[in-house]
Structure 1
Amino acid sequence: MTDEGFEAALPHPVEGCTPDEPPAGKTKYAGFGPSVVALGGGHGLYASLSALRMVTDRLTAVVTVADDGGSSGRLRRELGVLPPGDLRMALAALCGDDEWGSTWSEVVQHRFRSEGELHGHAVGNLLIVALWELLGDPVAGLDWVGRLLGAHGRVLPMASVPLDIVAEVELDGVISTVRGQVACALTPGRVQAISLVPEDPPARPEAVAAVLESDWVVFGPGSWFTSVLPHLKVPELARALHATRARRLVTLNLAPQPGETDDFSPQQHLEVLRQHAPDLSIDVVLADTGVVDDPDALEKAAAALGARLVMADVAAADGSPRHDPRRLASVLDEIFLSKR
């Protein structure tokens, strides 16, 4: 069958679903728990989703689309598509713990090792891009992959076009401008502020709708300047984040991000958030007890955003700077149930 024949035979994207509707039984439209939108990208969003899928089936990930390195960067440059890597990781995080889910999670995360052109490419990136080419719709393609994986939620790009992050970086009193997610992470110095190119990118309408219809919006954890804050730089999405009736929660990182937030305290993360979105109110700030050296200062920074501070043991027991999904899920469940 030709590509044209396959595309014509393929429902769009699932029998009985439009591109604006996720596959039945696998999304925020069915299940238990509050409706939650998680914002971010990369390993931080993976940790958040791994916990949140234990708390609710009504879960949507809204993912940054600014990656310009590795497999994602190569596909982005060669095919002009959204960088698929962070979207792939979010889908993998939403896989179930059964044999089907764990197997497909490993498959989509698998990277080829060779001396040829496939070296470094992730299977999931290629699968996602193939469906985008066949369907002509990024959200439809992601919904199809989610259905294949049995994902406990939906994954959406935050914008309709690939983005570049532009950062103002200070080193020894000198401010320089760098462009690109990889450059932002590798350039010596401290990031002062970010912007996007294009400056006014179109948000995905499905992402805007998810934010407006949610009960909770979760920021972080993750790379603060390149995964969390970019959502606030997409105008339509930023307006939705300000206008939604959802409660807003910030999950703080367990350690500074090398190259982005070196030597940042937990409260400095909140101060940067306030600088980039001064009118955004936050309801809850969640921090791990073990990384807070000055609880009073952090509580004051949270209060400046309108938030109450929750401190709990959510880090992995092995001492690594990563969240334990079950510990994080337990605390998030308590927060969601408290409605404070």
Structure 2
Amino acid sequence: MESIIEILRQRVSQATVSAFGQDLANVDPLVVPATNPKFGDYQCNVALSLAKQLKQNPRAIATAIVEHLEVNDICQKPEIAGAGFINFKLKTSFIAQRLKIIYNDPRLGISLTKHPQKIIVDFSGPNIAKEMHVGHLRSTIIGDCIARILEFQGHDVLRLNHVGDWGTQFGMLIAYLREVYPEALTTADVLDIGDLVSFYKKAKIRFDEDPEFREKARQEVVKLQAGAEDSRRAWQLLCEQSRREFQVIYDLLDVKAEERGESFYNPFLPQIVAKLEEKGLITEDNGAKCVFLEGFTNKKGEPLPLIVQKSDGGYNYATTDLAALDYR
């Protein structure tokens, strides 16, 4: 079903051409919802935009357009207000007719788009080894709503769940579990998700306060990124447990999404650095590979680096985000 505003746009365009000639066939009719209900349901501002071109008073232009308007089946008689605004008030009989059509239409009167697109909706994005919180819930519901609307319109929607399943948090957690609960790194479901969250918080405290532990955690990240078998096994166990917990929530909400987390892009990280080097954008600073972007400075006004590869050979979230953008 064609929207009311689109019908009015077409009628105003036809009236404008009838009144002033074919040269104005491509002029935007500028029909919008009324800013105030006392002015009606829709208003048209095209007369003001044409005043300079036609060298006429906007009210005179509006009068000429109204004289050629054929909207009796839709609206009450259009009114000219102010400097030359044309106000439309819909007939109740027309509204009732539209509602009846919508009521009897399985698609509620919403037509499929004429120009379907491939659209990515990135939503939810919880972190592995942590419980979902209200922020994730909000993103999940909003993202699912957007995806459903776009799908209903006929677009090809790729629902992506960019979960936090990679990086420093795993280095911290694996390093800590090696010390206090090594069974959790080799056996499934030894701990529940609440215990993992508790251990993660303790690992974060150690990471912030203990330089030796911090280095161990960083080395675990490097091992994970390099594909060390024991690190990968521990990581997979943690991920699988979290996924099952997340799925309980998704099933309750009837939400579906394709998981494509940070780890998905790990194989592409060296390529990202290589591409940046090819373009001459990489600067080495204290062993780290950085990109310095114009306009990005610290509080002292000094250039602020975007680190894409750390001095120990590891990568960070910025590199992963660049890989995700490049892949998409």
TM bin, normalised by shorter chain, reads under 0.3
Q: TM-score under structure 2 normalisation? A: 0.26
TM-score by length of 1: 0.25
Identify the structure with bigger relative contact order (alpha carbons < 8 Å, sequence gap 6+): 1
- Could you say which structure has the larger radius of gyration? 2
**Greater share of helix:** 2
